[in-house]
Structure 1
Amino acid sequence: MMWDWSAELICASIHGGVLPHRVTFRAALRQDTFRQSTAPMIGRNVMPMPLREVLKDPTVLAAEPLVLAGRTRLGRLVTWVHTSEVLDIATLLRGGELLLVGGVSLATASREQRVAYIQELAAREVAGIAIETGGRLPTVPEEMVQEAERLHLPLLELRKVVRFVEVTQSINGLLVNESVRRLQLADRVSHALAAGLAGGAEVSQLMDILAAEVQADATLTAPNGDVIAEASADLEGPSPRSKEHPIVAPVSSAGVTVALLTLNPRPGADLLLLDAARDRAPEALGLALLRSRPLSRVERDAHELLGLAVSGGRSPRRFVELATRLGINAHDAWVCTVARIGPGQGLTAGIEAAVSRSGRTAISQIDHDSYLSVIALRLDGTTLGAARASIIADLRDVPMPPQVKVAVGPATRALAGIGHSLAEAESALDLAEDSGEVVVDAVALGVPRLLGALGRPDLVGAFIEEQLGDLLELDRRRSGQLFETFAMYLRQSGHKTDTAAALHLQRQSLYQRLDRIMTALGNPEPGTSRWGALTLATELEAARRRTGERQ
């Protein structure tokens, strides 16, 4: 009788999402069917939990897990626990999974396949990989540990054999149960606020209801930092400080983000209830604000124009019409900024003051946790580069709350280029996420942005290997920091004294390194096209390394 693996697949999903080995390998032969059958069942509508909490579950502890790589990323959220021996499983995952692996396929895989396996799962943003050792795979291969550490991907060794079905049933059951409880709590918050709205409650009264319901002090703040309303969880008692961080959610009115809701939990507050309130409360508050503070035409137009710019809308006539009504159409150039904002007072006031200096015209809008600005410029004889540089200088001159980071996108001489400027500013924020920069220059991050836009790591890798392969191999063998030296030498325009100072090296030590570098590269001549290719390859490799460090 022919085996009906699809039936067992469905049964497996009901019992913890585990696929027996024979089902996994059969399914690999029908990847399209596998994707359609399992994707809706894995990680959907569940309340994630940090990986470090998953590792405390008794079924996982029984395996004596050992963290081999990615220890600093144990806070990653696990949305589902899944098991598979298929090496090309990454394309079938949604991201956020903890992958349990028996090691059968890894035992016979080549070094290159194992490294590619780690790279593909890291790119898919899985929460972690747990590999069972013993038998065919006595230890986790060192190349996998090194690559996972480079990519900051949590890699665990399971030193004792456990039944994967029991692990998945336990963890996935917890994830689902927490999700059910969260839905119940969210309904409770919704009902309380809906009853207040139906009874004609104003914004301040709704805030009182919310604060009492979730046991947290609540503040509703306008984008410029003005307090619209605030409420205490206990009007009669003091307001003890909680060790928990405030919970912040944007509040929208007719599609426009008009306020930020901040919940400061009291000690003992149910954090799952607060998380549910973050989802449900903004809708009720937005309705109340729409009733008491209707949007102006300028706010509606700005929202629509920025929406068209962000989405790349195909309505150029409408785009020009909105820009004309907002007074930014008849200008020489435009520059966009994107800021990530968090809880605090006066979140956007500083940015607004900076971008409006020197008579600049700007329109802005909060979109969830981002603050978008379009700055229209009249050049009046100055260059576009100089006008853009003055915006960056003004932003750096304005004190900002510690939660705020702002990026300035590329300038454009065409109104239609606003969307590109916004997108590149957003990309620059992502690239500079772990940096200490408060104001990020997207143009200065041109090569890392290009690397991300290419989306072809194979082609980029081949180009880097072609240009720098011998140098990188020499660096790997001797750990001589030769690549970093060459990169700094190029950035210092070939000035040896400045390079030595930047690297804190004696000049003789620098000369010795440069001799080894140039020999490895075939003694290229500065000013030639080969030198230009080396410069590009060096910047691409530096960007690739920085990207790997952030993952």
Structure 2
Amino acid sequence: MNTDSITVNDVLQRTLFRNARVVGGKNGINRRLRWVHVLENLNIDKTMFRGGEMILTSGVGFQSEATLLVAYLQKLMEFNVVCLCIELGQYIQTIPDEMIEWANRYHFPLIVFTEKVRFVDISHDINSLLINRHYEKLQDLERVSREFHRMTLTSQGINKVLKLLYNFTNVQVLYLPIHGHPIFVPSLQANNQQELLDFCRERLNDLTALIPDQPTYQCKFKDKTLLFQPVGAMGQTWAYIVLISDHEPNQYEYKVVDSASISISQDLLRKQYIEERKLLAENVWVDDLVHNRIKNEDEFRSILGSSYLKHRKTPYHVCVIEIDHKDDLDHKTSAEAIETSQFHFSLLLRFTFEKNDFLPLITMKKNRIVVVALSLISPLPLKERLQRVFDSIQKINEVDLKTGALQYRMGVGQSYIDLKKAYLSYQEAINAVSLYSFYKKPIIYYDEIGVLQLLTNLRERKALESFINSYLGPLIEEDQSKGSKLLYTLKFYLDFNGSKQLAAQHLFIVRQSLYYRLEKIRELIGEDFMSSEKRLALQVALLGYQLLHPDIFSATPGGSESF
């Protein structure tokens, strides 16, 4: 169908225009009309117009001086008015030649009524026609959108969507995937195809920031107007639909290309889900890798095949992502829904790692996803790219997925080269992610946790508790029996390098109270607690105690800081 709006020529065929004549700008009668206004004032400005209006006037309040009428016509052109209709009679008897000349020069339809007309009838007739046509177009858009979705469920769904898009818009359609062969509907001659493709790909270099959910990008190619509509999901752009037309696109073309893009995106995403499930099923060996169940080089060769030699010396990190579902708390989320959201998250991880020059090997078990992220050649440092991955995931999870039920935390092991050491990076990532309650941040790097590298390995053993009790036992007992807050006092006194003034300010107590607490501390753990060796031991013991009891200092007046 023709999706063009109502034109000036369409209006001229209406009964109310039977006595109208086009005295200037006849070459512009195919200009599209958006609305009809009655305007009886020479004093106009841009705020009065939105573009695409037909202006009706009897000339009341006008002056017949030619220069003023020409200036008025020029302003209308500047404000993107479609045409001007003047009733000849009491106020304007003739149209100045200069006005007709300007209308002809810029193809601006200048229409006169030689008999008296009722502008209210014309406004009602044309505006009703516009409203009815708009309603019909919306119905057509709804129908074609349903057809787009139906076609994506059939074989060669993308080709069918593109053909329907062409039939609806009657303009050249180009489907330009990021990876793969372009599709022209209808087909073009080879030389014309190549010229257009070269131009589009050059423009795509300027569209690197164009992602799904952003407005369609528009530019000129020779005498054509090109619309680039991204196709993709989860922050990834997989292709562009390009409309190549010889006119300025109308609102319906914008809407229908957006609908086609959504349908194709859903089709591609569905296929990506299927591929992701297949990859996860094939990559069960990754679980063996991180648990050190692959012992020799022959096993690696048989699993990785020809890619083994390529990646055997590739640096990598193991990342452990633990996912929480808030809905689990009230049992409203089914096991199937949880699994679907985790597959969705796994797919998002794969896209984002690949976008930042990683080869992700992914395995998933219950609420934990493990990624062995092999670093490919990139101008950016490995750790910076990792941070970009996590920043992108966090942003998409918050904005695009809109899943308030999905929360995650990540631990990142240190970088290794030999895949046989993946179990080491995995254990480091496990230790890092276990510190979430301590650091209260979603991403924790093992190489940034300092002395906690030692303490996390002791946490499951009695040695850490024994160490803490040997240095802090008397203070813990005193606090538990009398609520004296000696642990708080010691922690911040050591944090501020023995500054009584800063410690008292941070604890919101007077100095005399601090002196009393410090005296009690000396009495319980010895006078030498500020000696270098014992001070270090006390700080480590406090850190270990906070590791075992993450919220122990959270209620301290003035807040607390991890150390």
TM tier, smaller: 0.3 to 0.5
Give me the TM-score of the superposition, normalised by structure 2. Answer: 0.37
Give me the TM-score of the superposition, normalised by structure 1. Answer: 0.37
Larger Rg: 2
